[in-house]
């Protein structure tokens, strides 16, 4: 029987990078279930080998569809990326986040539990359900607080973070109550190719390229830990192969930086690649009203995954951000395809003032 992996949300930013990376392993046949909301993009997966890959357009909350896929394809593992993931959108409209992140994860867990329970012993023992989550479930840190660890109490501060915290708790409960062999990863801020340009780094790259204002919340001193997406995908694959069922693994880049430094670095790299005589893109930086409940600092203690599974990031922020800026500047067709009228309207509405 072929080695089948079911990936949810595999047309999104992190999911598509993961699918492309896993397709290099010729032992996998990958089923990609994605609803194709605004951030899902099948162009990310063009040229993929059709004999070892199948795309299914659907919702993780559709239990009949999930049941059909599980029964038909008999996956040996599920990697669950599918989620609404933008804090700003969750503030303006939290309902979608509850529907997808909480109700959708519950539906997927229920169908997975039924499928797993019916497997024969060997396949049942080898099966894994890996849930991809975020550091935002832990809340906010003070300047001198130690980084988040796997035992940090949850304290989500946005509707997005609360919805992911709820899904994390469901996954944990399905392991402890039913024995489902689950794994959870909580990652820091990702960046890299294919990220929808409402997020900080691609938004700043494209605005800097076009000479538009670079909107920075508050005083720009909110701190995040930055993780290059290809490193994150390798970490997920490592947890899938060697992680202990029921465990949580924090994945971080060891790159704590304030937002203003990120934006300044992007300005300098865009100036280097697309110089404008006598003018620095730093002049485009515009401070805007802070968003409600904006967490001040995130930092990840990723020593557990390094100690137990031998993973650590390969990219420094300097190498990763240079690759990322180059990719966005060199892939105009992809950028043009995703920056539609509805996207421009959303950015204008959200950052006005």
pLDDT at residue 293 tops 90: no
Token couple for 22: 């896993």
pLDDT beyond 90 at 345? no
Residue 152 lies in a domain: yes
Average pLDDT of 303-321?
A: 98
Q: What is the pLDDT of residue 342?
A: 57
- Residue 198's pLDDT is 84
pLDDT of residue 63: 98
The tokens 């992996």 sit on which residue? 5
User: If phi over 0 gives left and psi between -120 and 50 gives alpha, with beta otherwise, what is residue 158?
Assistant: beta
- The stretch 92-114 carries a mean pLDDT of 96
Report yes or no on 325 lying in a domain.
no
75: CATH = 3.40.50.720
How many residues in total does the chain contain?
353
In contact, 321 and 201? CB cutoff 8 Å: yes
214 inside domain: no
Percentage with pLDDT > 70 across the chain? 96
Beta strands at 53-57 and 28-34: parallel, antiparallel or unpaired: parallel
- Mean pLDDT within 96-115: 97
Cα–Cα distance, 191 to 204 (Å, whole number): 12
Does the pLDDT of residue 33 top 60, yes or no?
A: yes
The answer to whether residue 40 is domain-embedded is yes
Inform me whether the pLDDT recorded for 347 exceeds 90.
no
Note whether 55 and 123 are within 8 A (CB): no
**Range of the structural domain that residue 94 is part of:** 3-191+228-253+297-313
Q: Residue 348: what pLDDT? A: 57
List active site positions.
135-136, 160
330 in any annotated domain: no
Identify the three-state secondary structure at position 217.
strand
Count CB atoms within 10 A of the CB of residue 268: 15
Any domain includes 292: no
Q: Rounded to an integer, what is the distance from CA 148 to the centroid of its chain?
A: 18
- Is 50 exceeded by the pLDDT of residue 353? no
Choice between 320 and 347, residue whose per-residue pLDDT is larger: 320
Q: pLDDT higher for 222 or 353? A: 222
Which tens digits make up the pLDDT trace of 239-275?
Answer: 999 999 999 999 999 999 999 999 999 999 999 999 9
User: Is 340 contained in some domain?
Assistant: no
Alpha-carbon distance of 340 to 320, in angstroms, equals 27
- Tens-digit pLDDT profile for residues 179-216: 999 999 999 999 999 999 889 999 999 999 999 999 99
In a domain, 277, yes or no: no
Residue 147, both tokens:
């980084």
Across the range 301-308, mean pLDDT stands at 98
pLDDT tens digits, residue range 34-65?
998 888 889 999 889 889 999 999 999 999 99
Enumerate the β-bridge partners of residue 272.
Answer: none
- Cα gap 348→324, rounded to integer Å: 24
pLDDT tens by residue, 156-185: 999 999 999 999 999 999 999 999 999 999
Nearest Cα residue to 141 out of 153, 125, 159: 153
Domain count of the fold of the chain: 1
At 351 the pLDDT is 47
CA distances from 104 to 130, 242, 299, 329 (A): 15, 26, 28, 35
**pLDDT score at 186:** 98
pLDDT-above-90 percentage for the chain: 85
In this predicted structure, the answer to whether residue 12 has a pLDDT above a threshold of 60 is yes
pLDDT confidence of residue 148: 97
């Amino acid at each position: 029987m072929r080695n089948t992996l079911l990936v949810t949300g595999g047309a999104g930013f992190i999911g598509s990078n993961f699918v492309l990376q896993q397709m290099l392993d010729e032992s996998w046949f990958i089923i990609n279930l994605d609803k194709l909301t605004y951030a899902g993009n099948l162009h990310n997966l063009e040229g993929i080998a059709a004999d070892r890959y199948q795309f299914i357009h659907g919702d993780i909350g559709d239990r009949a569809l999930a049941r059909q896929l599980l029964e038909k394809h008999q996956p040996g593992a599920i990697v669950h990326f599918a989620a609404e993931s933008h804090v700003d959108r969750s503030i303006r409209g939290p309902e979608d986040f509850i529907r997808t992140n909480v109700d959708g994860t519950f539906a997927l867990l229920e169908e997975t539990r039924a499928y797993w329970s019916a497997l024969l012993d060997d396949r049942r023992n080898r099966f894994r359900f890996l849930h991809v989550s975020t550091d935002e479930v832990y809340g906010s840190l003070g300047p001198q607080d130690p980084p988040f660890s796997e035992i940090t109490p949850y304290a989500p501060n946005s509707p997005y973070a609360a919805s992911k915290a709820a899904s994390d708790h469901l996954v944990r409960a399905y392991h402890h109550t039913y024995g489902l062999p689950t794994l959870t990863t909580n990652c820091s801020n990702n960046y890299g190719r294919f990220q929808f340009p409402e997020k900080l780094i691609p938004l700043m790259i494209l605005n800097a390229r076009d000479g538009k204002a670079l909107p920075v919340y508050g005083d720009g001193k909110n701190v995040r830990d930055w993780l290059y997406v290809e490193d994150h995908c390798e970490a997920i694959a490592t947890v899938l192969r060697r992680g202990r069922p029921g465990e949580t693994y924090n994945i971080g880049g060891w790159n704590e930086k304030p937002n203003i430094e990120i934006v300044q670095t992007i300005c300098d790299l865009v100036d280097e690649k697309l110089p404008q005589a006598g003018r620095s893109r730093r002049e485009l930086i515009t401070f805007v009203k802070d968003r409600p409940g904006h967490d001040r600092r995130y930092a990840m203690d990723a020593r557990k995954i390094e100690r137990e599974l031998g993973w650590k990031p390969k990219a420094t922020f300097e190498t990763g951000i240079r690759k990322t800026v180059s990719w966005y500047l060199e892939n105009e067709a992809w950028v043009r395809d995703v920056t539609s009228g509805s996207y421009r309207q959303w950015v204008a509405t959200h950052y006005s003032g």
